[in-house]
Amino acid sequence: MRTRTLTLLTVLVLVIAACGDEGGDGSTTSTPGTDTTAASGVEAVLLSYALEAGTTYEYEVDMDQTIEMTSTGDTTAMGEDDLPGELEINMVGTADFTHTVSEGPEPGTFEVAIVGDFADMEFTGTVDGEPVDESDIPDMAQMEPVDVTVIVDEQGNVIPDENEGLGGDMFGDLGGLDMLQSLGGGSAALGQFVGPPLSEDEVTVGDTWSKTIEIPTLPASDPVTTQIDSEVVGTEELDGTEVFVIDTTTTTSEVEFDLAQILVGFMTAFVPEDATDEERAEMDALVEQLRFVISVDETTGVLTTMFDPADGLTKQADYSNTTHMVMDVNIPDETTGDLAAFGMDLDITQDLVYRLVGSGSA
């Protein structure tokens, strides 16, 4: 009896759907800091995003990303014929992102369509010890175009789309590694709204606020908790405008999934109703040995935002984080149906700089 396997990209989609995103349903708390207006000499103001429906905002994005991966075992069991044993790739380049704003589903919300691509990326590194050739980079390490839509409110909170399932439409058709990056949280990750959630209270230099998001995952797994801590650390002039400098640290808790039960349902769906006792026993034996554990370490992202309080826009945002993931898999080989073990250790380090370079009518 033949059973079907999942490609690596499909697996990553399942992980992201289980993790949800910054806009998932969860508890939030806001903790304002003390009033430091007198000490800082900067008047406290209520910060909010003043997005305008029918307007496009153009961001230029500098990206520097390094991927380090080792894999062991039978990689073809994951449906990835070209997955190398060792990979270290650095990608550097600049991309143009367009954020097109429409009215959101509720008053005080905005729908933001985000489009960008990475056609001009430069690749260096090695694949299985050999210097990398861009034409030979495995599909799972390619940077795919970004085309996603998010809904945010005036404070920059991402509103979940109940019609889009657990993962919402936050990640669209991002490539596998792009989605993994998003596990680290942070509002400036690829394909996400640029800027942190803002305080619901007036703030000035020295004030802090926090937001905690708890997102349910698989029924047998602990929820993912994201802690977002922000502080106005100063003001400075940027392109002739005084902006608030906001430092934000986003910490996403360790995540561990055992997707075996999902795979059991996937596999047993292809067992014919007239299967023999021998075939059913074979399936039961496979199920007992099935293993599909994915774990992601606690991830911290650091975001520095240059926010223009007069225009209500992020003028620049610098973001960095590192994500570490491990996979431990024992699943049926697509060709033989025999169990095949596979392991992967993956680190992704990225630095992003977003700069607002223009706006206009959509």
pLDDT of residue 80: 62
Q: Is residue 46 situated within a structural domain?
A: yes
pLDDT surpassing 60 at residue 211? yes
Residue 97 main-chain phi, psi, to 5 deg: -115, 135
Averaged pLDDT of the chain: 77
Q: Is residue 81 situated within a structural domain?
A: yes
- d(Cα 235, Cα 245) in Å, to the nearest integer? 5
Domain that holds residue 107: 8-361
- d(Cα 333, Cα 267) in Å, to the nearest integer? 12
Is the model more confident about 172 or about 346?
Answer: 346
| Span of 54-63, 262-271, 353-362 with lowest mean pLDDT | 262-271
What residues form DSSP beta bridges with 313? 308
Which DSSP state fits 159?
A: P
| Secondary structure of residue 268 in the 3-state scheme | helix
pLDDT of residue 154: 95
Is the model more confident about 19 or about 149?
Answer: 149
The total of structural domains in the chain comes to: 1
- Which distant-in-sequence residues (6+ apart) come within 8 Å of 23 by Cβ? 150, 151, 157, 158, 159, 160, 161, 168, 170
Mean pLDDT of 20-24: 44
Q: Is residue 1 situated within a structural domain?
A: no
pLDDT surpassing 70 at residue 12? no
Residue 71 main-chain phi, psi, to 5 deg: -130, 150
- d(Cα 103, Cα 105) in Å, to the nearest integer? 7
- d(Cα 212, Cα 250) in Å, to the nearest integer? 10
pLDDT surpassing 70 at residue 326? yes
Q: Is residue 332 situated within a structural domain?
A: yes
| Secondary structure of residue 106 in the 3-state scheme | coil
Q: What is the DSSP string of 212-267?
A: EEEE--STTSPPEEEEEEEEEEEEEEETTEEEEEEEEEEEE--EEEETHHHHHHHH
- d(Cα 107, Cα 119) in Å, to the nearest integer? 37
- pLDDT tens-digit series, residues 143-197: 667 888 989 999 999 887 644 433 333 233 333 333 343 443 333 356 788 999 9
Is the model more confident about 102 or about 38?
Answer: 102
pLDDT surpassing 50 at residue 203? yes
Q: Is residue 17 situated within a structural domain?
A: yes
* Contact by Cβ (8 Å): 201, 32: yes
Q: Is residue 184 situated within a structural domain?
A: yes
pLDDT of residue 177: 36
Q: Is residue 3 situated within a structural domain?
A: no
- pLDDT tens-digit series, residues 275-293: 788 877 877 777 777 888 8
pLDDT of residue 74: 78
Q: Is residue 293 situated within a structural domain?
A: yes
pLDDT surpassing 50 at residue 10? no
Chain CA centroid to CA 174, Å? 9
Torsion angle defined by CA atoms of residues 238, 116, 214 and 291, in that order, rounded to the nearest 10 degrees: -140
Smallest Cα–Cα separation from 193: which of 25, 64, 317?
317
Chain CA centroid to CA 206, Å? 29
| Span of 6-10, 134-138, 291-295 with lowest mean pLDDT | 6-10
